[in-house]
Structure 1
């Protein structure tokens, strides 16, 4: 824990907080959040990773991440030099094992709207001369948000906010971490973020097909944010968790309480009828590596032998009814 100071209004606010890492997905209001973090923490306490060639990237990132490729040395120097916040256009996996996903945050945006915004940004600021269709068909621009969060248990993130609900998401983040990052509107291509770009029907259909995985991801994030808000309004705690896979023996997943160390009890239902409960205490090495909490002892399994195929199993938090990500899960034939 480290002492930090808030100086935006010329006074000092004592707050204790672990360092946070912000995955800045382009065109998701990340610049507004980054500037807000600069104002709260102080620019000297904000470390930046915007690529090895970017003038914005901090020297300790260039030296230890890109040149020496020594993540542990970076982490040691990061703390020693008093940094409290990391931001940048990096994939979450780059820093997950040193910060831990519970100390990582990001914002995601409606995938189609985000692509239009980024295209216009490239035309406006970088002289991009290709058509919109040529831009969104480039491999690098397909499912970009999803790829930046790939191989990460994102429901265990400190917070995955929504650009279209930026002020609400920021309030949740500030409340969770006892921060006062101010609400700013910076680097916006339009004055009103909530106004949707209009597309030709064929473009929208193709974009939806190309980015189907990311659209599903975005919908899941929206649903989980709804639950986070609902639980917060009644003084109950959010649980990060997901149903992850099925084999011939059962259905598997994980769940972890956000603010305490007790194991989560998962309720299993079929057609609205409760058929059992399981406690999430199984060991999951990947979740331990990514710093999800409880040393990775957050897994659960459900024996599915007695259920017919094509039935849907619902896995929810027993204490609140909050559904886990990927629930309900339709049982399929397995080899």
Structure 2
């Protein structure tokens, strides 16, 4: 099994998660990449990724030789997803406004930042930070996306998905408990919302997916990584695969304006996803010819479990849009 890849987005309970992983796997089995100048970055990472020659494959082979159980760091998902596989990639997301308030408190507390909260969140580098870590990735493909506000439930899902037992911790917090809320004025809330629209949309989608996954878990039903990619007047298309080791093809129902119009089986090749090391050698795509008009509402459902995707129907666009 490839090691887990933990995309540690700052102030999303990531420190609690990685230290819990250290306790389970052993510190020597967790490899970090927090940048060239960080003391937390592991020697093997420095040797292969920050030396004169950058050798990502050599890094992966070294991790394999040492039976590394998890790679982690403040790095974008593109950093290691092709080495670990998207199914072994894990991250946490947090309410964007609460996350940036926590980040500000962290900078004041640990780095002596003396600017105002507004000055801090107005810095372009602070805008849509969670989205920046997941650039180019469909959230539906990521192995597990936990929610900081539901940390215990997230950990339960992660442990069940990967058959591990990472213990629950609460480390590096600015508040007494992970669920505590930072006070944000209405004026700041309005401006933060304007500056972080991508993060807010990402978080809302992640929350819907998480609730759906948790519901299936409680019912003892499998979760499907599934995404509707194309909707036009002639066809609908997307991809789907089962989480875990089940590589049987996924049967997808196609619904138009709340009516079931037929099924498709996800067995078509999607070579563009192979770099993510998706299951079935990339044969996870589906498509179905349809006759649609602008304004029609399209949604799909996993035939076996009733899991809807996307979580809200997609509308057929008008020509030229």
For the residue of structure 2 that corresponds to 1:69, the secondary structure is coil
Instruction: Output one character per residue of 1:10-57: Cα deviation in whole Å (capped at 9) or x when no partner.
Output: xxxxxxxx4111111000000001110111001011111000111110
Distance 2:115 2:195 in 1: 19
In structure 1, the residue matched to 2:6 is 22
Out of 141, 147, 155, the residue aligned to residue 170 of structure 1 is 155
Contact 1:108–1:163 under 8 Å retained in 2: yes
Instruction: Output one character per residue of 1:173-220: Cα deviation in whole Å (capped at 9) or x when no partner.
Output: 111111111101111100022222222212111211221121111111
In structure 2, the residue matched to 1:293 is 279
Instruction: Give the deviation of 1:303 after TM superposition.
Output: 2.9
Contact 2:209–2:311 under 8 Å retained in 1: no
Distance 2:125 2:306 in 1: 38
Instruction: Give the deviation of 1:283 after TM superposition.
Output: 1.6
In structure 1, the residue matched to 2:241 is 256
Instruction: Give the deviation of 1:138 after TM superposition.
Output: 1.7
In structure 2, the residue matched to 1:55 is 39
In structure 2, the residue matched to 1:144 is 129
- 1:273 equivalent to 2:270? Answer no
In structure 1, the residue matched to 2:19 is 35
Distance 1:297 1:334 in 2: 30
Distance 1:331 1:180 in 2: 44
Contact 1:312–1:329 under 8 Å retained in 2: yes
Instruction: Output one character per residue of 1:210-236: Cα deviation in whole Å (capped at 9) or x when no partner.
Output: 211211111111111111111111211
In structure 1, the residue matched to 2:186 is 201
Contact 2:34–2:73 under 8 Å retained in 1: yes
Q: Which runs of 5+ in 1 are unaligned?
A: 2-17
Distance 2:143 2:288 in 1: 27
Contact 1:255–1:264 under 8 Å retained in 2: yes
Distance 2:72 2:6 in 1: 5
Distance 1:323 1:61 in 2: 40
For the residue of structure 2 that corresponds to 1:206, the secondary structure is helix
Q: Which runs of 5+ in 2 are unaligned?
A: none
Contact 1:243–1:326 under 8 Å retained in 2: no
Instruction: Give the deviation of 1:248 after TM superposition.
Output: 6.0
Instruction: Give the deviation of 1:252 after TM superposition.
Output: 2.6
Alignment of 1:302-321 (within 5 A): 302-304=288-290, 306-321=291-306
Instruction: Give the deviation of 1:249 after TM superposition.
Output: 4.1
TM-score normalized with structure 2 length: 0.94
Q: Which moved more, 1:233-242 or 1:250-259?
A: 250-259
In structure 2, the residue matched to 1:325 is 310
Distance 2:36 2:234 in 1: 46
Contact 2:270–2:284 under 8 Å retained in 1: yes
In structure 2, the residue matched to 1:79 is 64
Q: Once superposed, what is the RMSD of the aligned Cα atoms?
A: 1.5
Instruction: Output one character per residue of 1:87-145: Cα deviation in whole Å (capped at 9) or x when no partner.
Output: 11000001011110111111110111101100111111111122212221222111111
- 1:106 equivalent to 2:64? Answer no
- 1:216 equivalent to 2:211? Answer no
